[in-house]
Amino acid sequence: MGRGAAMSEPDGPPPVRIQLHGRFALAVEGRTVEHVLPGRRARLLVAVLALPHRRAVERSELIDILWSPARAGEGAASTFSALLSKVRTVLEPATIVGRRSLQLVLPPRAIVDAGVAQSALHAAESATARQDWPRAWTEALSALFVTQRGFLGDFDDPWSDERRREAAHQHRRVLACYGEACLHLGPGELAGAERSARTLIALDPLAETGYRLLMRAHAAAGDRAAALAVYEDMRRALREHLGTDPSPMTRELHAELLG
């Protein structure tokens, strides 16, 4: 093994790795094992329990989630017990503890990509509040690698749909944090700020955060005319779709650009 490989994973692959963004994936000791799980409900069970900082979940709630949108029938409880037993076997050395309420306990060095993104976003927003722009950039980029993939793209059920909406909001927070850091790191990162701003606008054309970031990116690049044009685009969109004017914060930025 080369020096680089040894430094990147000094103790080998993580004992358990769970991917919730993009397509669901599960690896144990470096072996892909999601195909061993007995069907969609088993994969969804792992996903529900693997969410970062997830509380213990009542069996009855889990059954409702796994059977939704259908109604769980009389045999659902026994079917769930058999499913849980198989999932526990596949997940080892991770364990699912509890009887009436269940919780996933991961071994040291286990990785859940959603947890990585959540921790990185928290660190990025904290660094932004301190105006520690290099740290904010690094942490936001780490979160962006995860959140840009969306959430459980291969699942179509009410629980996953709701989590996707939450993940989309998280992704917008990551983009805003990354763009802000790029803006403050100087000319070499202005392209990153502009890309983040345009993505924010595309994701939510009636939210002002992306427009303000794009206006500031153009202004930092010395293109005040482009910044003012962005303001006009935003003003028209708000007027046409919401019947409102830009917020005081955005109008103040516009006034500064007018000089």
CA separation for the pair 201, 212 (Å, rounded): 10
How distant is the alpha carbon of residue 100 from its chain centre? 30
3-state percent helix, strand, coil for the chain, nearest multiple of 5 = 65, 10, 30
The pairing of strands 16-19 and 111-112 is: parallel
DSSP string, 211-236: HHHHHHHHHHTT-HHHHHHHHHHHHH
pLDDT of residue 101: 94
pLDDT, block means (10 residues), the chain with 259 residues? 41 93 96 95 97 87 94 91 96 94 95 96 98 98 96 94 96 98 96 98 96 97 97 96 96 94
Structure pTM?
0.90
The H or E element spanning position 165 is: helix 158-184
pLDDT value of residue 10: 57
In this prediction, residue 73 carries a pLDDT of 86
Question: Which of 242-252 are b and which e, b meaning 16 or more Cβ less than 10 Å from the residue's Cβ?
Answer: eeeebeeebee
The one-letter code for the residue type at 93 is: P
For 235, list phi and psi in degrees, rounded to 5.
Answer: -60, -45
- Residues 6 or more apart from 236 whose CB is under 8 A from it? none
The domains of the chain, with CATH numbers, are 3-111 (1.10.10.10), 114-258 (1.25.40.10)
3-state DSSP assignment of residue 103: strand
- pLDDT computed for residue 5 by the predictor: 39
pLDDT recorded at residue 8: 43
Judge whether 157 and 44 are in contact, CB under 8 Å: yes
59 contacts 97 by C-beta, under 8 angstroms: no
Strand order from edge to edge, sheet including 57-58: 57-58, 101-105, 95-97
pLDDT at 22: 96
Phi/psi of residue 57, nearest 5 degrees: -115, 130
Instruction: Report the alpha-carbon distance of residue 147 to residue 121 in Å, rounded.
Output: 10
Q: What does the pLDDT read at residue 7?
A: 38
